[in-house]
């Protein structure tokens, strides 16, 4: 049975808590082979804090950061979705290499769906689910999303790192 995970919205933390979490995020890393699938965690969080459309989250387990993910509004076509606004874009999702394979990724992807539904209820954006694109070579990513209830919506070739699968889960 894996540990539970909590998604902490970085934008909502006070300055001290945010600084502590950014320090923990700075030491997260994926394996060398996985670097083609995702960006640098600290950089992605700092970009997310600056952009209004992005909601950067720390994935916490037992009070310590084990990963990050970002939900973004108005950007779903970047994952091959037909329009920008009917779904949240899930991007920049990773679990630290030392904590992978323990079920945390699937739990965090499921938690992201619940967080996105809450954001839609609070902000009134009208989204009805989450969409993402995952590289066809990324077996772990596809497995984690499938386990969290995401369904394959076909191939997407618009990215710059090879063919992707578009995956979607409604609220
Ligand atoms: C994708 C990622 C977040 C998954 O996190 P995780 O905590 O390792 O995932 P889980 O432990 O929840 O595993 C989920 C499923 O993937 C499977 N899996 C894990 N590693 C795998 C691998 N290398 N190959 C195939 N399947 C794998 C697991 O077996 C599990 O399925 P199961 O329970 O049916 O056996 C993590 O591998 C990661 O950070 N990768 C690098 C960044 C990345 O690719 N992000 C996604 C970009 S779209």
Q: Which residues contact 64 (CB under 8 A, 6 or more apart)?
A: 24
Handedness of CA 115, 7, 149, 27 (dihedral sign): positive
Closest atom of ligand 1 relative to the 101 alpha carbon: 11
User: Which atom of ligand 1 is found nearest the CA of 30?
Assistant: 41
101 pocket-lining for ligand 1 (C-beta < 6 Å) = yes
Please identify which residue in the block is written with the tokens 């992201």. 112
- Counting ligand 1 atoms within 8 A of each CB, the residue from 34, 92, 105 with the most, and so the one to mutate, is 105
> What is the full per-residue pLDDT of the chain (171 aa) written as tens digits?
567 999 999 999 999 999 999 999 999 999 999 999 999 999 999 999 999 999 999 999 999 999 999 999 999 999 999 999 999 999 999 999 999 999 999 999 999 999 999 999 999 999 999 999 999 999 999 999 999 999 999 999 987 778 999 999 999
Sketch out the chain's domains with CATH numbers: 6-170 (3.40.630.30)
105 CA to centre of ligand 1 in angstroms: 6
């Amino acid at each position: 049975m894996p540990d539970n995970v909590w998604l902490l919205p970085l934008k909502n933390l006070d300055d001290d808590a945010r600084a502590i979490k950014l320090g923990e995020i700075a030491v997260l890393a994926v394996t060398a082979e996985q670097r083609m699938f995702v960006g640098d965690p600290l950089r992605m969080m700092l970009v997310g804090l600056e952009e209004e459309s992005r909601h950067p989250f720390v994935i916490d387990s037992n009070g310590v950061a084990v990963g990050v993910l970002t939900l973004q509004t108005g950007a779903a076509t970047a994952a091959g979705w037909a329009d920008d606004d009917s779904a949240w874009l899930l991007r920049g999702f990773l679990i630290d290499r030392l904590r992978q394979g323990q079920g945390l990724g699937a739990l965090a992807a499921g938690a992201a769906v619940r967080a996105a539904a809450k954001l839609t209820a609070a902000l009134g954006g009208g989204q009805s689910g989450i969409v993402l694109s995952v590289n066809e070579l990324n077996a772990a990513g596809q497995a984690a999303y499938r386990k969290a209830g995401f369904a394959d919506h076909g191939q997407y070739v618009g990215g710059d790192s090879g063919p992707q699968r578009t995956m979607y889960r409604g609220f």
